[in-house]
Structure 1
Amino acid sequence: MVAIPPRSNPPSPSLGQLLREWRTLRRQSQLDLALAAEMSTRHLSCIETGKARPSREALGRIAATLDMPLRARNALLLAAGYAPEYAERDWAAPALERMRHAVELILAHQEPYPAFVLDREWNVLMANGAAARVNRLLMDGRESRHANLLHQVFDPEDFRPAIANWSAVAEKFLHHLHAQLAAAPTDPVPRRLLAEIARYPDVPALGSPHDGEAPAPVLTLEFRSHAGGLRFFETITTFSMPHDVTLQELRIECAFPADAHTAAVCARLAREDAAAAA
């Protein structure tokens, strides 16, 4: 079973705790961070111990040096008594309309192959027609029980039986979740998601053996279907240099056929869908 580091519900970490945590993650000493953030080691030490309150500008330099994501930068500001700098809007907010339009174009151009959009909690926010068509094929026309990709993959009564190489796929998702947790130890989301999927049966342990086979350059997702086996590989697109927490955490996943048969099935499904709509 997947191992979940135990953690109760602690109070919000102090500024010093956050700085020490991020320095440890980035493997930086106080001296390294102080030099890069253009401050004295003594001043940084006083900030970490709560004896000094940094300015917003100083916190910005520290966050940039530590390459902290926007959500963590907001947490750093809050811990120091400042208002957050970066907005976190709902994906449906009017302010993000142009970004949604750009994502819709990406999804449309991915046809006839699947593409979908995930938020930081692995919820599927948008999907193109190809994703819906392939899902219907793999699920024998049934709808998924979940709007969350992790639950779709790990639930034996959902998408999981259609995944021929489920153990390898499950391990890939577990690695992603543990990487999320390692990148932001105070973020409760990956810990909660790990706990939720651990309740499903036969969840593999990380680092499972693969019969001594050399790993492929990318993981191929292999599916069972009435149209024969389907094989896809995926790419992930993110926004470049966003100034919004939601946009930074958004992922656009595009699936590409790994063989000619899969490409032909996707093209046939698209033709059949277009003929039915005509």
Structure 2
Amino acid sequence: MHTVERRVTGIAPIGALLREWRASRRLSQLSLALDAGVSTRHLSFVETGKAQPSRELVDKLADALAMPLRERNALLVAAGYAPKYPETALATPMMAQVRRAIDSILAQQEPYPAFLLNRHWDVLAANAAAARVSAFVLDGRTSPHSNMLHNIFDPADLRSKIVNWEEIAGDLMRHLHSEVAATPTDAGVRDLLEQTLAYPDVPQHWRNRDVAAAPTPLLTTHFRHNGRDLRFFSTITAFGTPRDVTLEELRIECAFPEDEATAEFCRQLARGDAVQD
């Protein structure tokens, strides 16, 4: 066996990445070795830099750790190999069919809101209904953010219009904590967590992940503005079995009215009728 030297600056050695991911998945070295079909001794040598893993072993370890495609690429690079999965910009001609599918889903959601989000909750696109509802709730003002979490946590944005804000924000915080734990090397998710926690009057106990809290299967967001109540629940659509980093990280959130009053108001906005309070 020989020590593997890392000469590329800015790239964490594969051993450090594996230990970080094992910790996030709560796996012992023995458990990961068994799942990947490798001896504990060999895995130990990889983690300490005494052995160079083969590309096949890196793939097996990534499978055993259920790593996202972006993180799999990072693991391959840390081991000295080229990335395996492409990351194709959504605006390129290769993604034309994907863009058509996304546009179709957003359009079909009319007259109810729908959003295209990336892994950091940035709003990449939205249908006209989303703009209409936002304009109503914000009195025609443009939201200062293009990130859904900032929209909900910032008192100058949608937060003051959400009746059940603590319930909605608390659920989003649980999801964000889970994403930080699931992707320990994603600095962007950690930064987003710190940014949302920094907003005024965010409960202190939200700084800690509540591992015992069960995920909420369905939440209703309750807006109130000018005496009108709007209630929406959401569904998430993702691309199945993606082989591209960009596709894996996209999701479409569609909002549906919980009651007929909300549905009719959305239809009214779509028709351009004057709003009657």
Query: TM bucket by the smaller chain?
Result: 0.7 to 0.9
Conserved 8 A contact 1:169-1:221: yes
C-alpha separation in 2, matches of 1:177 and 1:191:
9
After TM superposition, the structure 1 stretch with the greater mean CA deviation from structure 2, 16-25 or 161-170, is 16-25
C-alpha separation in 2, matches of 1:45 and 1:248:
31
Deviation of 1:127 after TM superposition, in Å, equals 0.5
Name 2:197's counterpart in structure 1.
Answer: 198
C-alpha separation in 2, matches of 1:205 and 1:12:
34
SS at structure 2 position matched to 1:224:
strand
C-alpha separation in 1, matches of 2:225 and 2:149:
20
Q: Which amino acid aligns with 1:116?
A: F
Map of 1:120-135 to 2, 5 A cutoff? Answer: 120-135=119-134
SS at structure 2 position matched to 1:117:
strand
Conserved 8 A contact 1:174-1:206: no
Residues 1:94 and 2:96 aligned together: no
Partner deviation per Cα, 1:9-35 (whole Å, 9 max, x = no partner): xx6432112112222333333333223
User: What is the TM-score when the length of structure 2 is the normalising length?
Assistant: 0.86
SS at structure 2 position matched to 1:71:
helix
Deviation of 1:197 after TM superposition, in Å, equals 2.3
Deviation of 1:227 after TM superposition, in Å, equals 6.6
Residues 35 and 216 (structure 1 numbering): CA distance in 2 closer, same or farther, change over 3 Å?
closer
Conserved 8 A contact 1:70-1:86: yes
Name 1:57's counterpart in structure 2.
Answer: 56
C-alpha separation in 1, matches of 2:264 and 2:205:
35
Identity %: 57
Structure 2 portions without partners, runs of 5+: 1-9, 208-214
Name 1:108's counterpart in structure 2.
Answer: 107
Q: Which amino acid aligns with 2:243?
A: H
C-alpha separation in 1, matches of 2:143 and 2:155:
11
Q: Which amino acid aligns with 1:99?
A: V
Residues 238 and 205 (structure 1 numbering): CA distance in 2 closer, same or farther, change over 3 Å?
farther
Partner deviation per Cα, 1:193-247 (whole Å, 9 max, x = no partner): 1222233211124569xxxxxx975211000123710001111111111111111
Map of 1:149-188 to 2, 5 A cutoff? Answer: 149-188=148-187
Conserved 8 A contact 2:180-2:190: yes
C-alpha separation in 2, matches of 1:202 and 1:269:
33
Name 1:230's counterpart in structure 2.
Answer: 230
Name 1:242's counterpart in structure 2.
Answer: 242
Name 1:257's counterpart in structure 2.
Answer: 257
Conserved 8 A contact 1:171-1:206: no
Residues 1:31 and 2:30 aligned together: yes
Name 1:211's counterpart in structure 2.
Answer: none
Deviation of 1:136 after TM superposition, in Å, equals 1.1
Name 1:212's counterpart in structure 2.
Answer: none
Partner deviation per Cα, 1:27-75 (whole Å, 9 max, x = no partner): 3333332233222222212111111111111111111121111111011
Residues 153 and 186 (structure 1 numbering): CA distance in 2 closer, same or farther, change over 3 Å?
same
Q: Which has the higher contact order (CA 8 A, sep 6+)?
A: 1
What is the aligned length? 259
C-alpha separation in 2, matches of 1:106 and 1:64:
31
Name 2:144's counterpart in structure 1.
Answer: 145
- In the TM superposition, structure 1's runs of 4+ consecutive aligned residues that sit over 6 Å from their partners are none
Q: Which amino acid aligns with 2:234?
A: E
C-alpha separation in 2, matches of 1:79 and 1:164:
47
C-alpha separation in 2, matches of 1:216 and 1:64:
28
Partner deviation per Cα, 1:93-114 (whole Å, 9 max, x = no partner): 2222211111111111111111
Conserved 8 A contact 1:180-1:190: yes
Conserved 8 A contact 1:171-1:205: no
Q: Which amino acid aligns with 2:134?
A: N
C-alpha separation in 1, matches of 2:81 and 2:131:
44
